[in-house]
Amino acid sequence: MAAAPSRSRGDYDHLIKLLLIGDSGVGKSCLLLRFSDDTFTTSFITTIGYRLSIDFKVRTVELDGKRVKLQIWDTAGQERFRTITTAYYRGAMGILLVYDVTDESSFNNIRNWIRNIEQHASDNVNKILVGNKVDMDAKRVVSTAQGQKLADEYGIKFFETSAKTNQNVEQVFFTIARDIKQRLTETVAAAAEPPTIQISRPDPDQPNPTSRWSSCCNT
């Protein structure tokens, strides 16, 4: 079950904002509800192709001895019109790119979503590729190898999931959260390091310009 939302800064060590993006119907909301509430429902499927019922969910987890508050935003209701812009991406530290393994179009559109990220998100945002609905193996049209190849092309991690059976759902969120926590820790550590001044030792084989000047003046 999801941990109760933290209500004060003292309840957690890190606050991480995550964003779920991808085509409509790939199961973003189902992944979110499975991770946050450990529930599954198909009621998000609509005839008009979009909805506006969820903004975000919160779950606080423990990673490597630190309490990490995950604020996970669901973009359902935005993707149909490609209206996810800078305002939605602002502050996002990690983005889960989701496609449906039974829908080749949703897989092909991942490149478009990555271009959208490059236009609007911060340069150092963490990304992870997620192939959802692997429980529907009989209808699969996108192979695991195809997903891995695309992830390798962009240098990001890759998971296949099922919100229905809970396959790899925890692993996906924990993996990207851990990567972000590590990046934040390294950034803070680098900022705390005092500047160093490198002093080179003089080369004894090189003439001392000060000595030459003094000798010249004394003649």
pLDDT of 190 reads 75
CA–CA separation, 65 and 87 (whole Å):
32
pLDDT at 213: 44
Q: What is the mean pLDDT of residues 34-41?
A: 93
pLDDT at 3: 44
Q: Where does residue 45 fall: left (phi above 0), alpha (psi -120 to 50 degrees), or beta otherwise? A: beta
For tokens 């001895």, name the residue: 65
CA distances from 215 to 19, 97, 207, 209, 210 (A): 71, 72, 12, 10, 9
Q: Which of the two residues, 199 and 145, has the higher pLDDT score?
A: 145
Alpha-carbon distance 5 to 61, whole Å? 10
Q: Starting at the edge strand that comes first in sequence, how are the strands of the sheet with 56-63 ordered?
A: 56-63, 66-74, 14-21, 94-100, 126-132, 157-160
Query: How many beta carbons lie within 10 A of that of residue 90, not counting itself?
Result: 11
The torsion angles phi and psi of 218, rounded to 5 degrees, stand at -90, -5
Average pLDDT of the chain is 83
In this predicted structure, the answer to whether residue 94 has a pLDDT above a threshold of 60 is yes
Contact 116, 82 (CB under 8 A): yes
**Residue-level pLDDT at 209:** 52
Per-residue pLDDT band for 46 (boundaries 50, 70, 90) equals very low
The pLDDT of residue 88 is: 76
Residue with tokens 């939605």: 88
Q: pLDDT tier at 85 (50, 70, 90 boundaries)?
A: low
Torsion region of 71: left, alpha or beta (phi above 0 gives left; psi -120 to 50 gives alpha): beta
Residue 37's pLDDT is what? 94
pLDDT band of 130, cuts 50, 70, 90:
very high
Q: Which CATH class is domain 9-192?
A: alpha beta
pTM to 2 decimals? 0.78
- Residues 67, 13: contact at Cβ < 8 Å? yes
pLDDT (0 to 100) of residue 4: 43
Cα 65 from Cα 16, distance rounded (Å): 16
Domain map (residue ranges) of the chain:
9-192
Query: In the chain, pLDDT over 90 holds for what percent of residues?
Result: 58
Structure tokens at 216: 């010249």
pLDDT greater at residue 155 or residue 189: 155
